[in-house]
């Protein structure tokens, strides 16, 4: 069962989303909030698998600010799916920086919403294609391969972090640094697959998949799966 917290400043929207989500046997709304402060409190209290959050909550503190605080809490082990309007570029790029797991347009239908919740709840990434194009435009240095490479393989204890990635701020990702197997794994990451789903698809053990993902993030010089997925979308938009 995937446990969901809904965050939106309009009660009618929250009620509608809750009805759709609770109609599914594998999904359950376990909390709701209308303000950023309530979103943080409720999320850290009930520990959901997924937080579905409107990016604009009509307050001085935005949904992005709330997402950043939630993701920074070491006790939060879930994912955040941001709902946004088509023209809210600034909020999308800010949310991208803090490390959310997905972006969905508020105009999306219920099936897209349910699919996105399941994807991020399983550890994957879910991004509307229109938003992918905007993120690629906003972050050309991230999604376009360059000449610099990062080919060293991290040790078992050296996990890519925002700190060690920032050590080379001008280094562009280079897909040529990836092995054929790592490219296969990255393609599945870009398709929104979780580590468990990738393991099943490629007939690999879960620890092996986790090692591949860690190496991919390190070689590409990115912080998370979403940034890695954008690189694959940027070089293979139809993939």
* Cβ atoms of residues 36 and 62 within 8 Å: yes
Q: Indicate if 27 and 124 belong to the same structural domain.
A: yes
Q: Mark which of 136, 167, 198 sits at the end of a domain.
A: 136
| C-alpha span between 60 and 66 (Å, rounded) | 11
Q: Indicate if 120 and 207 belong to the same structural domain.
A: no
Is the pLDDT at 157 greater than 60? The verdict is no
Q: Indicate if 197 and 224 belong to the same structural domain.
A: yes
Q: Indicate if 126 and 151 belong to the same structural domain.
A: no
CATH number of the domain encompassing residue 102: 3.40.50.2300
Q: Indicate if 193 and 130 belong to the same structural domain.
A: no
CATH number of the domain encompassing residue 180: 1.10.10.10
Domain count within the chain: 2
Q: Indicate if 59 and 95 belong to the same structural domain.
A: yes
pLDDT at position 139: 65
| 67-117 residue pLDDT tens | 999 999 999 999 999 998 766 777 778 888 888 999 898 888 999 999 999
| 29-42 residue pLDDT tens | 999 999 999 999 99
Q: Indicate if 16 and 52 belong to the same structural domain.
A: yes
Q: Indicate if 85 and 193 belong to the same structural domain.
A: no
Its domain, for residue 12, covers 2-136
Q: Mark which of 101, 136, 171 sits at the end of a domain.
A: 136
Is the pLDDT at 56 greater than 90? The verdict is no
């Amino acid at each position: 069962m995937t446990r969901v917290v809904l965050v939106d400043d309009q009660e009618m929207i929250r009620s509608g989303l809750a009805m759709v989500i609770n109609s599914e046997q594998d999904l359950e709304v376990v909390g709701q909030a209308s303000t950023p402060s309530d979103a943080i409190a409720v999320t850290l209290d009930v520990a959901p698998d997924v937080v579905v959050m409107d990016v604009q909550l009509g307050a001085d503190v935005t949904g992005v600010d709330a997402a950043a605080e939630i993701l920074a809490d070491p006790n939060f082990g879930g994912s955040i799916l941001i709902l946004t309007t088509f023209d809210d570029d600034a909020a999308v790029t800010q949310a991208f920086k803090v490390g959310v797991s997905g972006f969905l347009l508020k105009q999306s239908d219920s099936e897209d919403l349910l699919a996105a919740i399941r994807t991020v709840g399983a550890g994957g990434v879910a991004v509307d294609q229109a938003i992918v194009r905007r993120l690629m435009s906003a972050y050309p240095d991230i999604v376009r391969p360059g000449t610099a490479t990062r080919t060293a393989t991290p040790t078992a204890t050296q996990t890519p972090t925002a700190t060690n990635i920032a050590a080379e701020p001008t280094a562009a990702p280079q897909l040529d640094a990836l092995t054929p197997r790592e490219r296969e794994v990255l393609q599945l990451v870009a398709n929104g697959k979780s580590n468990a789903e990738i393991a099943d698809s490629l007939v690999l053990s879960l620890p092996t998949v986790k090692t591949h993902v860690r190496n991919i993030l390190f070689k590409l010089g990115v912080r998370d799966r979403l940034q890695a997925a954008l690189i694959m979308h940027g070089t293979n938009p139809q993939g």
